[in-house]
Every structure is written in structure tokens, then in C-alpha cells.
Amino acid sequence: MELFVNQVLAGLATGAIYACMALAVVMIYQAIDSLNFAQGEMAMFSTFIAWQLLQWGMPYWAAFFFTVGISFVAGVLIERVVFKPVQKADILSHIVIFIALFAIINSGAGYIWDFNIKPFPSPFGTRELFGQRLISSHDAGMIGISILMLILLYLFFAYTRVGLAMRAAAANPESARLAGIRVGWMLALGWGMAAAIGAVAGMLIAPRVFLEPNMMLSILLYGFAGAVVGGLTSPLGAVIGGVSVGVVENLAGTFIPYVGRELKLTIALALIVAVLTVKPTGLFGRTVETRV
């Protein structure tokens, strides 16, 4: 029983990170209707920036928020410089650009910081909490920060004017323009926020998986799985999907013989296929009925 609870909690912790990546993917998907394959690499690069700042002697939380800020600006710039010129191009062009971004950022990080794995510190330490071997303090911190960030995002989108404008721009760009909303900037803002969310996810998961240019590859796949499970059109679904993927993956790896560590990633892909077969809109993907 203790092992079970233990694995569920560990699953929730990594699930929180998948949820963040899934959310970042969904935010960009809603804006431009395609999956950002470079989301993980952007997060990885952000984590390297944080690592560099820490190396230069910046305190952890200063480096943390500084990195989030830099990532936000970088996300906005990527949209303005790379995607704005091709906004009318078809989906294949977008995919090619995503793959290019993936390769450029990946090798760029390798070029600057080399491919050796590096330890990344946790601000929460790795003590065991509550005197039992239930959950480590870092896992608890991961869950806490993710929940805090999700609540802030929810409040932003539900209750601020900019949040409403961003929703309008994503839902119906033409009608949003007719309301005077600067749709292009709303998309850029979405990119910035997705990059910032990814940065947080990268910095939180790095102590677990260690820092190196390929560290986000599997994390992003789990994030995609979470997004697909929840439905690519539903931010809430993406979060729930991401968390579920984390828990399922952990439990399957522990309790199903043959799965173990090696086949864990397969679970994510199997989930994607299963969900797409049974319910292509995802568990929470909405199709609003409209009357005319």
C-alpha cells in the first residue's frame, strides 16, 4: 500500500510537469492550429539559461523569475519574427518551421553548453517529507508550484480583459479584429506565456532528469499525450490529461511486469492512440452545438 501511495504521489509530481507542457502545447495549438514540436526544446533552453545564471552566482529564485521573464520575451519574439511572416501559410509549413526550431535550439544548446549532463539544483531539497517515505520535498514543491501557476493562469484568463481578448483572438480571429483586438499581438502574448510555462516546467523537472540538450524530449511526448488525452481544445483537459498520464505511467512502470522503466514511454504513445481511436476530441474536448 505504501508503495502504491508513494508511486501515485511521484506520478502526480511528474504529471504536474506534463500538465504544464500540455498546457503550453494547447495554448499554441489554439492560436495556430498546429502542435509546437519545439516546445520542449524551448523549455530546455530556458533551463540552460537558468543554469548559467546560477553558475554566475545568482540566487535560485532570482534566477528562476529572471528566466521566466527572458523566456516570455523570447516566446513573443519567436512568434513575431518567425511565425508572423508565415501566418497565412499552410499547416505543413508550420510543421517544417517547428522542426527547424527544434533542431536549431537543440544544437544551439549543445554548442553553447555541450552535451554532457549537468546536475540542476532544487530549491526544495530532496528530503523526505512527513517523516515517511511518501514524497520528497522536491516532488511536493513541483506539485505546489504547478498548482500555483495554473491558478494564476486561470484567474488571468477568466477575469482580466487581456485574458478575455486573448480568448476572443484564439476563438474567432476575424470577429476579434472587428472588435478592434490586435490579434497578432494576442498570439505573440500566447507564445510568450507558453514559453514561460515551459521554462517553469523545465526548471522544475531538471533536478529529476538532469540537464542536457535532450532532456525535454520524452517530457514533451508525455505532454503531447496529456494534451491529446484531455483534448487539444481544452486547457483544463490538458492539465487533467497531463496529470493522469504522469500517474498512469508511474503505476504501470511499477506494477505491470515487463513495462518497467524501458517501456514507460510506450504507455504515453499507447494512450494517444487509444484516445484518438475512441474519442478523437479528447476526454474534455468540447464541440459546442450551434443553432442557426
Residues in a beta bridge with 211: 118
Q: Does 292 bind other proteins (CB under 8 A)?
A: yes
Nearest CA to 180 out of 189, 171, 169 is that of 169
CA distance 92 to 71: 26
Q: Does 87 bind other proteins (CB under 8 A)?
A: no
Residue 167 Cβ, how far from other proteins at the closest point, in Å?
7
Residue 81 Cβ, how far from other proteins at the closest point, in Å?
19
Residue 40 Cβ, how far from other proteins at the closest point, in Å?
28
Site for other proteins in 102-161 (CB under 8 A): 161
List 84, 127, 133, 182, residue binding other proteins (CB under 8 A): 182
Nearest CA to 116 out of 164, 56, 51 is that of 51
CA distance 110 to 215: 12
Task: Check: CB of residue 75 under 8 Å from CB of residue 197.
Answer: no
Evaluate the CA torsion angle 139, 154, 226, 192 in order and state its sign.
negative
Task: Check: CB of residue 120 under 8 Å from CB of residue 210.
Answer: yes
Q: Does 181 bind other proteins (CB under 8 A)?
A: yes
Write the interaction track for other proteins spanning residues 151-170; mark x where CB under 8 A is met and - where it is not: ----------x--xx-xx--
Residue 78 Cβ, how far from other proteins at the closest point, in Å?
22
Q: Does 288 bind other proteins (CB under 8 A)?
A: yes
The footprint of other proteins (CB under 8 A) covers 161, 164-165, 167-168, 171-172, 174-183, 286, 288-292
